[in-house]
Structure 1
Amino acid sequence: MFMANLSLFFHAIVLLSWPATLAIASLAGNNTDHLALLAIKSSITHDPQGVLNTWNTSIHFCQWQGVTCGRRHPRVTILNLGSRGIVGSLSPQIGNLSFLRVIRLGNNTFNGVIPPQVGGLFRLQKLILYNNSFEGEIPASLSNCTRLNILGLGGNQLVGKLPQQLGSLLNLVILSINDNSFSGGTSFMGNLTSLEVLAAHNNHLGGNIPDVFGQLHSLKDFVFAGNRLHGTIPPSLYNLTSLRTVDLYENQISGGLSKDIGLQLPNLEELQIWRNKLTGSIPSSISNCSNLVHLDLAENGFTGKVDINFRHIPNLRFLVLYQNSLGSSEPDEMNFIDSMINCSNLELFLAFKNQLRGVLPSSLANLSSQLTLLDLGANFIYGSLPSGIGNLVKLETISMQYNQLTGIIPSELGNLGNLTQLYLNNNKFTGNFPDSISSLSLLLELDLSVNRLEGQMPQNLGNCKSLVKLYLPVNNLTGPIPRELFQLSSLIYLDLSQNHLVGPLPQDIGNLKSLTVLNLSKNDLVGEIPDAITSCTSLEYVYLEANSFAGPIAPAFRALRGIRDLDLSSNNFSGKIPIFLEQLNLSSLNLSFNNLDGKVPTGGIFKNASMIAINGNGRLCGGIPELGLPRCDLVARSKKGSRVILVVVPLFSFLVLAMALSLLFCWQRRKRQTQPPEASAGQPFSRVSYGSILKATDEFSEQNLIGTGTFSAVYKGILEAGGAMVAIKVLKLGNQGALKSFMAECEALKNIRHRNLVKIITSCSSIDFQGNDFKALIYEFMPNGNLDTWLHPSQEQEIETEEAAPRRLSLHQRVTIALDVAHAIHYLHQECEIPIIHCDLKPSNILLDNDMVAHIGDFGLAKFLPLKPHESSSIGIRGTVGYAAPEYGLGSKMTKEGDIYSFGILLLEMMTGKRPTDEVFKEGLNLYDCVKMALPDRVMEIVEPTVKEEMEAASVNRRSGEDEVRRWKRLEEGIMSLARIGKLH
């Protein structure tokens, strides 16, 4: 009985003490959370919104901003400090908030590591740390938080391999690790079968796409863009029928898309796989993806017809297909545009840099009224631009450049009041300059260059008050430059070159205070440079060559302290070269072919002969020795000094050239142009890979092959998006001597820089995909090929079309090319720090750019002077038979005179039209002897027929008066310049 009562007594005590026990436990928990929160506060160094001001003892911590406690007990369950601008680190004491279910710290500037103590929060369901500055690796202890359904770590500075232990987080629905620097494999993610969103873009994750991803049957968003993935898309991925988003852009994925992708992934809303290595045709089954909003397949190797029926994809907003090889040459190739009229939400349509061919359908005018960007440039589209394009009133950008469009530019473009960029350059548009463009008040960039526009520029072009860049070169525009154009104070780039503009340059040019590039070259402008140009303080590039500007070089240039390139060549400037040009930070100065006299400065840019051009000014003296000018004191003592020209190399070379020069300068003054600085071919590339070259040349296709030789083959191609065409010289390393040729060319080209030498852009020294050595040189592309094809056109080239003239060189062009080559030889022999002998001068190594300016190429046989002992003689002939100096065949050492001999033979070939290896030269007769025998009475019998006709026509139409005297004087100066260049005096 006593024992029973004692038991009841103790039970009663326990029951009475239970609330006190709970209170003590709760009090202890309260204190732990309170101290942990204070530790978190102490690790924060900046709180711009004052969130933590409430974190004090005046109120319970459950009432602090960003803190939420449970309903049944005062323990912290949610810590929400997201988007507060907070700076600091995350205290390890956060691991003591053991009741935490949610941590939201995104969009702040937390730094340091993610504390491993977070892995002790077993109740944690959401960990959101995105868009901070957390560093280090993901703690493997996070794998203990098995209740996690959201893990957001994107937008930090985390590194290292992803912990494989994270594969145990089987409840994860959202995994965001994007925009970090994670590396390694991702196969463990195949275990996360609850995943709906997997965002891992912009990391360094590599390898193939794991086949186990096919187990993620709940996955809706699969985002692995901007990594290092390669291989093909695994078939298992096409089994994930719930997928809405597939973003795999900027990887190295190859192969093709499943032809049934639209049937396998019918719920797709976004498919972005641009900038990969995918090939084959675009599957027509994409038409089945009726919910598709964003389709981006750009920068791959897709080919064939665009065979998608866009009528079944009404929600499409972005269609991006640029930089592939799409096109089939079928008559209905452009009909896919007809099916796009049902895409009423379409905003972007980009298909430039493909091989689309055909006429733009009139249905283009019925595309979405929401369309803001239309780019079909760099295709083979012909016909007219549909006038209905004026219906697309929300258009902001139209790019149709580098096609074959003809007809007039439709006036309906004036309806596009939102237009900011209009690119119709490099087509065949005709008619007057479109007056309607003047109504585009928001227009920022207008490019109508390289067309056939004529008439005067409209005065109301000045209404385009927002215009920043205006490109109108290579048209047939006439009349004066409208003064209203110089009221566009926002202009930074103005290019009116290669037209027929006349009159003086107005004083109003001073209004263009933001102008950085001014190109008025190759027009018929006259007068002096206005002093107002001194107000154009932002100018960096000024090209005024090949006009009729006169007077002294304007003192106003003194104020243009930022100027880098200045070209005043082929004008009528007179007087002395201003000394202030020494103080300008110039990288290029061309004053050639003017009437300048007196002493050449020796400071600043004048210290480097390769950066200046002053030839064609016969009364200059002094300067640095490399210029080869007479001493000024000798000129002063002998105003009429005699000049003796001794012909050392083939006599007829110089006589015929003198004859050509005489007639040329009586016929038309010499014009040349420097390309604007924004020409993408002149921009340097970084070193390129074998893969880039393989893609640029379409896997070294025959269509891209320009020429082939013993040591190399040359292809054309485009290496980067938006880039210019380049020439790619691929070495045939299997041929003996090819590697030596490659090394010689690299060694020579790294030491030289001249406007008449082919410009090397970069090189490639790598291995191909079979593990073989691969070497290539990338040069500036020369659109007009080599001189040999112009002197000796093939039968195909001889065929004339209705639009093209015969492929023949005029007398003017022949002499200009000869001068260009002579300047380059003089530079190699006399102006290089280490003189260079080219050793292989011949027409096929003279390349012609878009303006028919000549550039010497192929330095595979080049040698530096003085020669090394083993180079003193040559076994066999160095160079090409017929052009190589005869003494080379006897083992004589290589000399500058050998190049001069080759140059002489080249000149004979240019004037006679006969190769030195022509079959007419038999039984000991050669080109030189043939010419010699014709001198002096029968010389016109051996001149190339078309040249002979020009000579006879020019002799009938010779001018007279002061202009004639001036031209003959410039002829004399040109001949003397050639004499110096060729070392003939």
Structure 2
Amino acid sequence: MALQFILILLNILLFGSSLRLVESFTDGRKIVVGNNETDRLALLEFKKQIIDDPYGTLSSWNDSIHFCNWVGITCSNLQQQRVISLDLQGKGLGGNISPSIGNLTFLRYLNMGENSFHGTIPQEMGNLISLQIISFENNTLKGEFPTSLANCTSLREIYFNNNNLVGKISSEPFTSLTKLEVITINGNGLTGEIPAFLGNISSIQEISLEGNELQGTIPESLGQLSNLYLLAIGRNNLSGMVPLSLYNLSSLQIFNLRQNQLHGSLPRDIGLNLPNLQVLILGQNLFLGSIPNSISNISTLEVFDLDQNSFVGPVSNNLGNLQNLQAFTIDDNQCGTGAANDLDFVNSLLNCTNLNSLSIQLNGFKASLPNFKANLSTQLSIFLFGRNQIYGTIPAGIENLVNLTGLGMEDNFLEDLHLPTCTTPRSTKQEKSNSFRIVLAIIGALLGFLLISSFLTLYWIRRSKSKPPSTPLTGERFLKLSYKELFKATEGFSSANFIGSGSFGSVYKGIIDQDETIVAVKVLNLQNPRVYKSFIAECKALRNIGHRNLVKILTSCSSLDPKGKDFKALVYEFMPNGSLDDWLHLPVEAHNYSRNLSLLQRLNIAIDVASALDYLHNNCYVAIIHCDLKPSNILLDSDMIAHVSDFGLARLLLEADDNSSQDQTSTIEIKGSIGYAAPEYGMGGRVPVQGDVFSYGILLLEMFTGKRPIDHMFTDDLNLHNFAKATLPVHVMQILDPKNPTHGRTK
């Protein structure tokens, strides 16, 4: 009997469901550890705070299934079955984080990233004494950094990036986190200084506090972190000099101080003391002095960016040793001043076979470019040396840069290439007379257009100043919308809200509840195998660009519908005046108002589209080719301002597979639209920016003649281009679109 009693007691002590264990601390604090029933109740309390579960992730969280089998839950293998992992990353969940989560005292891994949690991070997190990894990245959490995490002495990794956290980072939480390896809180609103105590945690390998509002100097103590391989503290308000000890951290691989107010010069031996450095980004600061020659010793270097500082020359001619280098940027410095003023270092860089981008603009170089001796295997696609004082001719050897797609050389003193003068057959007296009249007419039209444009420009400037700024849906962040919200916004994707369709999907008008903003929702047709590539291309092209003549993307949605099928959609700013195609070709009787465009409106739209293409080709950090420019992809807002849309076929010119066979295959797949695509697209050639220019030319002809390039009249060898060309120079008026109302650009 005694033995049986002992066994029963032992079973209760080890595996009982009613015993509440207590964890004591040396400072007198006590935390109730509880049992597996405590874990189940804590999870149910957490579920109660969830107000949005678009994928039904928590539908399994009920009493019909043991909680260890609920989605996102992992339990220990012990008979106790305590929750050790809670992983709900990317489930689209919305709501507050319940304080009950602090009762999961055996929890080691907590990942709530990529959701829509709001409110504050509960201080009860400090009860998670076994926690090793915590992630709340990419939510909308607010409040301050939870100081109670000081109790989580086993914590190794913290990911709070891209939230709305504010306030100072107190040293208090870190005094006991002696095992911490990663702290990532970039993209918040943190203020104050970087805690100097971080330098006392020798285990730290990664510090990322980029994109906050931190001030003060960089703590000297960070130079003690001998295991640190990533330090990203750019886009803050830091000042002072960089501690020399940081330049001696041989473990450092990524060093990003961009966009602060840091000053000082780089140590002469930086290249010897940072042998493992891969990324060095010091742009948009106040650094001065010369670029150390020892940089050429960092064989691992991939990205070198010192733009918008006050560095002076000369630049080392030994940079060709950097065979891993992919981007070299020294824009807007003074590297053209110094003991020497030559550009021989360019040839050195062109021998870096992995180099994709080379930019040396705005440096005051006063020299001629050397004859290029580029390695024929170079990957260079972007070469920018404009806004200097470079003279002479474009050097021989430039043809060796076989992958070059972007060449910027404006505002220099380069000579022309001495090409022979173009000759034309002699004209008859009548032809000369007609040509003279045409020239006078064109000059008169241009003067009139410039006068009207000046008036309109002044009008729009005054109007924009008096007009209150519109409030964006998302501020500086993308709006987060679920399938459920898009379904509601479009009234179930009803036919009443249907706008149009294409091979990649259908577009619906929707109204977002949050502020009754009208949007356009493009629901992709996932039956088309090319749609996945289109979706990625469009997101890739639009995520980092912005221009008044480009359609504004508000967000994307990639999830499952109620039937468990893939659902992908893109949400755009709504354009109330539809597409240019509608205005050019849809019969007037199909509308309750006139859809004709005046000559001035057509000119304005042409200028709008040209401005958009100029931005995409020449002013993006990575040039973008639209690949499908046509009237149906030109949308008009309430003021008849044109916006280029539909980047489903867009190509980014700086891509890793640019020289591979895979690149050729993917390029062949890009056809564009019949009648608008450049001939090269159909022959499997590379996709150059000139392809968009070709499409733009066809677009102009269509706008002013009113005829589609696939009009039934164009058969055999006759096409829109030849049709227009045949009327030059004296019969142009005969082919202009006969619809010519008198109103100008109107709402």
TM bin (shorter chain): 0.5 to 0.7
> 1:180 touches 1:202 (CA, 8 Å); kept in 2?
yes
> 1:352 touches 1:376 (CA, 8 Å); kept in 2?
yes
| C-alpha deviation, 1:105, in angstroms | 1.0
Which residue of structure 2 lines up, in the alignment, with residue 71 of structure 1?
77
Which residue of structure 2 lines up, in the alignment, with residue 102 of structure 1?
109
- Against the structure 1 CA distance between its residues 588 and 159, is the aligned structure 2 distance closer, same or farther, given a 3 Å change threshold? closer
Which residue of structure 2 lines up, in the alignment, with residue 313 of structure 1?
322
> 1:112 touches 1:134 (CA, 8 Å); kept in 2?
yes
Structural mapping, 1:615-654, within 5 Å: none
- Against the structure 1 CA distance between its residues 357 and 115, is the aligned structure 2 distance closer, same or farther, given a 3 Å change threshold? same
Structural mapping, 1:780-929, within 5 Å: none
- Against the structure 1 CA distance between its residues 565 and 455, is the aligned structure 2 distance closer, same or farther, given a 3 Å change threshold? farther
| C-alpha deviation, 1:585, in angstroms | 5.5
Is 1:217 matched with 2:226?
Answer: yes
SS at match of 1:32: helix
> 1:133 touches 1:156 (CA, 8 Å); kept in 2?
yes
Greater C-alpha radius of gyration? 1
> 2:132 touches 2:154 (CA, 8 Å); kept in 1?
yes
SS at match of 2:271: helix
Is 1:184 matched with 2:189?
Answer: no
TM-score (norm 1): 0.42
State the one-letter code of the partner of 2:185: I
| C-alpha deviation, 1:23, in angstroms | 4.2
Which residue of structure 2 lines up, in the alignment, with residue 19 of structure 1?
11
Counterpart Cα distance in 2 of 1:46 and 1:67: 19
State the one-letter code of the partner of 1:98: T
> 2:212 touches 2:236 (CA, 8 Å); kept in 1?
yes
* Number of residues of Structure 1 aligned to a counterpart in Structure 2: 443
| C-alpha deviation, 1:48, in angstroms | 2.2
Which residue of structure 2 lines up, in the alignment, with residue 175 of structure 1?
183
Counterpart Cα distance in 1 of 2:239 and 2:340: 36
State the one-letter code of the partner of 1:179: G
- Against the structure 1 CA distance between its residues 71 and 456, is the aligned structure 2 distance closer, same or farther, given a 3 Å change threshold? farther
State the one-letter code of the partner of 1:145: C
Is 1:231 matched with 2:240?
Answer: yes
Counterpart Cα distance in 1 of 2:295 and 2:457: 56
Name structure 2 gaps, 5 residues minimum.
Answer: 20-33, 428-433, 464-606, 609-619, 622-747
> 2:372 touches 2:398 (CA, 8 Å); kept in 1?
no
Counterpart Cα distance in 2 of 1:386 and 1:257: 33
Is 1:242 matched with 2:113?
Answer: no
State the one-letter code of the partner of 1:587: L
> 2:351 touches 2:375 (CA, 8 Å); kept in 1?
no
Which residue of structure 2 lines up, in the alignment, with residue 160 of structure 1?
167
- Against the structure 1 CA distance between its residues 149 and 212, is the aligned structure 2 distance closer, same or farther, given a 3 Å change threshold? same
| 1:683-735 alpha-carbon deviations (Å, 9 max, x no partner) | xxxxxxxxxxxxxxxxxxxxxxxxxxxxxxxxxxxxxx99xxxxxxxxxxxxx
State the one-letter code of the partner of 2:97: L
Counterpart Cα distance in 2 of 1:275 and 1:329: 21
2:389 to 380, 387, 392: 380
1:42 to 19, 27, 48: 48
| C-alpha deviation, 1:18, in angstroms | 2.5
> 2:229 touches 2:253 (CA, 8 Å); kept in 1?
yes
Counterpart Cα distance in 1 of 2:219 and 2:190: 16
Structural mapping, 1:335-484, within 5 Å: 335-363=344-372, 365-366=374-375, 369-408=378-417, 431=419
2:446 to 544, 558, 579: 544
Structure number with the bigger relative contact order (C-alpha 8 A, sep ≥ 6) is 2
Is 1:526 matched with 2:441?
Answer: yes
> 2:314 touches 2:340 (CA, 8 Å); kept in 1?
no
2:36 to 30, 40, 50: 30
Which residue of structure 2 lines up, in the alignment, with residue 60 of structure 1?
66
| C-alpha deviation, 1:330, in angstroms | 6.8
- Against the structure 1 CA distance between its residues 24 and 263, is the aligned structure 2 distance closer, same or farther, given a 3 Å change threshold? same
Is 1:111 matched with 2:26?
Answer: no
- Against the structure 1 CA distance between its residues 331 and 277, is the aligned structure 2 distance closer, same or farther, given a 3 Å change threshold? closer
Counterpart Cα distance in 2 of 1:107 and 1:365: 45
Counterpart Cα distance in 2 of 1:228 and 1:386: 43
| 1:404-431 alpha-carbon deviations (Å, 9 max, x no partner) | 11132xxxxxxxxxxxxxxxxxxxxx54
| 1:532-589 alpha-carbon deviations (Å, 9 max, x no partner) | xxxxxxxxxxx823xxxxxxx7xxx8xxxxx99536xxxxxxxxxxxxxxxx956279
> 1:167 touches 1:191 (CA, 8 Å); kept in 2?
no
> 1:77 touches 1:102 (CA, 8 Å); kept in 2?
yes
| 1:715-772 alpha-carbon deviations (Å, 9 max, x no partner) | xxxxxx99xxxxxxxxxxxxxxxxxxxxxxxxxxxxxxxxxxxxxxxxxxxxxxxxxx
> 1:329 touches 1:357 (CA, 8 Å); kept in 2?
no
Counterpart Cα distance in 1 of 2:340 and 2:415: 19
2:144 to 108, 117, 137: 137
> 1:364 touches 1:386 (CA, 8 Å); kept in 2?
no
SS at match of 1:302: strand
Counterpart Cα distance in 1 of 2:364 and 2:236: 29
> 1:286 touches 1:308 (CA, 8 Å); kept in 2?
no
State the one-letter code of the partner of 2:453: L
Is 1:198 matched with 2:85?
Answer: no
The alignment yields a C-alpha RMSD, in angstroms, of 3.2
Identity %: 38
| C-alpha deviation, 1:38, in angstroms | 1.2
Counterpart Cα distance in 2 of 1:370 and 1:70: 51
1:123 to 106, 120, 130: 130
Counterpart Cα distance in 2 of 1:585 and 1:304: 47
Q: Which moved more, 1:27-36 or 1:267-276?
A: 27-36
Is 1:300 matched with 2:309?
Answer: yes
Which residue of structure 1 lines up, in the alignment, with residue 89 of structure 2?
82
TM-score (norm 2): 0.55
Counterpart Cα distance in 2 of 1:456 and 1:249: 53
Which residue of structure 2 lines up, in the alignment, with residue 566 of structure 1?
453
> 2:351 touches 2:374 (CA, 8 Å); kept in 1?
no
- Against the structure 1 CA distance between its residues 131 and 527, is the aligned structure 2 distance closer, same or farther, given a 3 Å change threshold? closer
- Against the structure 1 CA distance between its residues 456 and 347, is the aligned structure 2 distance closer, same or farther, given a 3 Å change threshold? farther
Counterpart Cα distance in 1 of 2:239 and 2:15: 60
Is 1:587 matched with 2:502?
Answer: no
Counterpart Cα distance in 1 of 2:239 and 2:393: 43
SS at match of 2:145: coil
Is 1:278 matched with 2:278?
Answer: no
Which residue of structure 1 lines up, in the alignment, with residue 722 of structure 2?
none
State the one-letter code of the partner of 1:363: F
1:288 to 277, 297, 300: 297
State the one-letter code of the partner of 1:287: S
Which residue of structure 1 lines up, in the alignment, with residue 638 of structure 2?
none
| C-alpha deviation, 1:528, in angstroms | 9.0
| C-alpha deviation, 1:308, in angstroms | 4.8
| C-alpha deviation, 1:141, in angstroms | 0.4
Counterpart Cα distance in 1 of 2:136 and 2:345: 45
| C-alpha deviation, 1:338, in angstroms | 2.1
| C-alpha deviation, 1:39, in angstroms | 1.5
- Against the structure 1 CA distance between its residues 120 and 191, is the aligned structure 2 distance closer, same or farther, given a 3 Å change threshold? same
SS at match of 1:204: coil
Counterpart Cα distance in 2 of 1:21 and 1:527: 97
Which residue of structure 1 lines up, in the alignment, with residue 640 of structure 2?
none
- Against the structure 1 CA distance between its residues 210 and 23, is the aligned structure 2 distance closer, same or farther, given a 3 Å change threshold? closer
Counterpart Cα distance in 2 of 1:88 and 1:360: 60
Counterpart Cα distance in 1 of 2:8 and 2:171: 51
Counterpart Cα distance in 1 of 2:400 and 2:279: 28
